[in-house]
Structure 1
């Protein structure tokens, strides 16, 4: 455990030095603000563009607060956010293996498990802090510009979708433990994420437990206020998959060449 905290401190300091603790939260806050602000001012933006026949009136039905909240998750966090997460951490393990720092550290009597888990925990902490700040920024502006969504309901949805983001982070480190290229790690992570998101659309009624369904269940919770059938099973399956990927990452990394 002592080695874990030493590695965790090292990763946290590195994230401070490369400003990851600054730009990731700011980026997620920005992503959280875009949807409510652009949706609210869209009629005025269109009207200011001109080139409309005289007397034309643009009427855009105002969306519900839940639509605005979920729109941020679907259009920004689930696309740009995941891409940013993958690119930010794709070289966490491959990069140190490539520059030789992993070999210098791990030739000493240190734990491979502490090394990998510290990196994963540090990355997960940054992602969750950034994600929570982005969601609260979105929730606050949605309240100011549209309507209030109960904070407890927002937090439940935040936690459900956060499990999916945790799986994405774990996939980055799983592929990073077996590959020496950050680019290949990112490509495989994004490819598998897309596949996991696409598969449930083929047989939606039979794959209610699928991890990527957590995205859909988040939107349904905010829309109707109730936890959808299949949410619990999807969360359990996702957590089991996260544990399996972590155990596999440790086993693979321990047996891989460090350089």
Structure 2
């Protein structure tokens, strides 16, 4: 356990020195602020920037607080997930290419702790960013619209955060098995997009796949039925653990350090 703590401290220090704990939370805060502000001031923005014909009067209905919160998660999915993939895609590949991994793993360090330290550090980074992004969104939703039920927000955010953990695990898995960081980013983004789009097309066969966590987050904030939570969460956790175990096995059983 001491070995894991030392490796985790190294990862967190590296993230701090590379300013990831500064710019990623700032990005999520910006995304969280943007949706409530643009939803509330959309008509004023169009008028200010000349988006309406002369003498035209168009009334934009003010969306509900739940709709704005749901659209905030859409912003996280479109931009936040991309940034997560791009910022984490080199966690293993870069150290492998630069020889840093060889320096660490030729010492009495287990591959499992090596993987888990990076995975845990990535979770802490994303958790910090996500919580700050959601907090900024809730502040402006409360200010401009109406308060949301705390329980609904917590349940909805939990579903979405589990989706983010799945996303980062996919990226770290490919970072283990591929040497090119560009290939890691492309593969991770492709898998995430596929799992986001396909469940909406093949609803019944893919209803328990991780991509549906986003729709469950939407259902939770809207107060809809959450039937199917257990199989969905179970499948997602199974895939997360499976990818982590597969990555560690791959590092152990192949000439990974070469």
Q: TM-score, normalised by structure 2?
A: 0.96
Report the 3-state secondary structure (helix = DSSP H, G, I; strand = E; otherwise coil) of the residue aligned with 2:235.
Answer: helix
Does the 8 Å contact 1:47/1:58 carry over to 2?
no
Which of 226, 229, 253 aligns to 1:228? It is: 226
Aligned residues between the structures:
256
Deviation, structure 1 residue 231: 2.6
Matched residues in 1 for 2:49 and 2:40: separation? 16
Name 1:169's counterpart in structure 2. 168
List alignment gaps of at least 5 residues for structure 2.
none
**2:89 paired with 1:90:** yes
Report the 3-state secondary structure (helix = DSSP H, G, I; strand = E; otherwise coil) of the residue aligned with 2:118.
Answer: helix
Report the 3-state secondary structure (helix = DSSP H, G, I; strand = E; otherwise coil) of the residue aligned with 2:91.
Answer: coil
Matched residues in 2 for 1:135 and 1:41: separation? 20
**2:236 paired with 1:238:** yes
Report the 3-state secondary structure (helix = DSSP H, G, I; strand = E; otherwise coil) of the residue aligned with 1:212.
Answer: helix
Deviation, structure 1 residue 227: 4.1
Matched residues in 1 for 2:114 and 2:166: separation? 19
Matched residues in 2 for 1:227 and 1:241: separation? 24
1:71-90 matches, within 5 Å, as: 71-74=71-74, 76-90=75-89
Matched residues in 2 for 1:132 and 1:233: separation? 26
Matched residues in 1 for 2:160 and 2:15: separation? 24
Report the 3-state secondary structure (helix = DSSP H, G, I; strand = E; otherwise coil) of the residue aligned with 1:141.
Answer: helix
- Cα deviation 1:129-163 (Å, max 9, x = unaligned): 10111011101111111111111210110001111
- Cα deviation 1:87-142 (Å, max 9, x = unaligned): 11100000000011111111112111111110110011100110111011101111
Provide the alpha-carbon RMSD of the alignment. Answer: 1.2
1:137-216 matches, within 5 Å, as: 137-216=136-215
**2:48 paired with 1:48:** yes
Matched residues in 2 for 1:21 and 1:202: separation? 37
List alignment gaps of at least 5 residues for structure 1.
none
Report the 3-state secondary structure (helix = DSSP H, G, I; strand = E; otherwise coil) of the residue aligned with 1:196.
Answer: helix
Name 2:250's counterpart in structure 1. 252
Matched residues in 2 for 1:43 and 1:120: separation? 43
Name 1:22's counterpart in structure 2. 22
Does the 8 Å contact 1:3/1:114 carry over to 2?
yes
List structure 1 segments (4+ residues) > 4 angstroms apart after TM superposition: none
**2:114 paired with 1:115:** yes
Deviation, structure 1 residue 52: 2.8
1:126-137 matches, within 5 Å, as: 126-137=125-136
Name 1:60's counterpart in structure 2. 60
Matched residues in 1 for 2:78 and 2:48: separation? 29
